[in-house]
Amino acid sequence: MSLVDKQDKFAGMVSLLVAYMRFKGFQVSYGDAYRDDRVTYGHPRSTHRSRLAVDLNLFKDGVYLADGDDHNHFHDLWDLIGGAERIDKDLNHYSLSHGGLR
C-alpha cells in the first residue's frame, strides 16, 4: 500500500474514532498530528512525521483526562479497525504501522 493510501485510510479511521469518542460523551482535541523535521522531541522516524499518527486528548465536562485510562476502551475499537497496537505509556497515541514503526 502506498503512503498516500495509508494516509487516506488513517484519516478515515481517525474520523470514525473521534466520532465514537464524542458519541460516548467525551470531548476531543488534537495533540500532535503532524511532526515536521524541525521538531526535536520524539522518535526521529515517528509515524507522526509520515502523517500516520495522532495524539488525541480526551475531556469530560471540560476537564482534561490526563491519566490515559479512558483511552483503553477506544484502543479496543482502534484495534478492531486495523490500527497499530497501543503503547501503554502513550495511550493517547493512535497510529498505523509504517516502516516498522507505530
Contact between residue 87 and residue 93 where contact means Cβ atoms under 8 Å apart: yes
The percentage of the chain sitting over the pLDDT mark of 70, rounded to a whole number, equals 95
Ramachandran bin of 94, using left for φ above 0, alpha for ψ from -120 to 50, beta for the remaining angles = beta
User: Does the predicted TM-score (pTM) go above 0.95?
Assistant: no
Please check whether residue 47 is in contact with residue 36, taking contact to mean a CB–CB distance below 8 angstroms.
no
Average pLDDT over residues 57-84: 94
- β-bridge mates for residue 53, sequence order: 95
Span 28-53, average pLDDT: 83
Question: Tell me, what's the pLDDT at 44?
Answer: 66
In the chain, what are the domain boundaries? Answer: 3-95
Q: How confident is the model at residue 67 (pLDDT cuts 50, 70, 90)?
A: confident
Classified by CATH at the fold level, domain 3-95 comes out as Muramoyl-pentapeptide Carboxypeptidase; domain 2 (3.30.1380)
Say which residue the cell 522516524 belongs to: 45
pLDDT tier at 60 (50, 70, 90 boundaries)? Answer: very high
pLDDT band at residue 34, thresholds of 50, 70 and 90? confident
C-alpha cell belonging to residue 12: 478515515
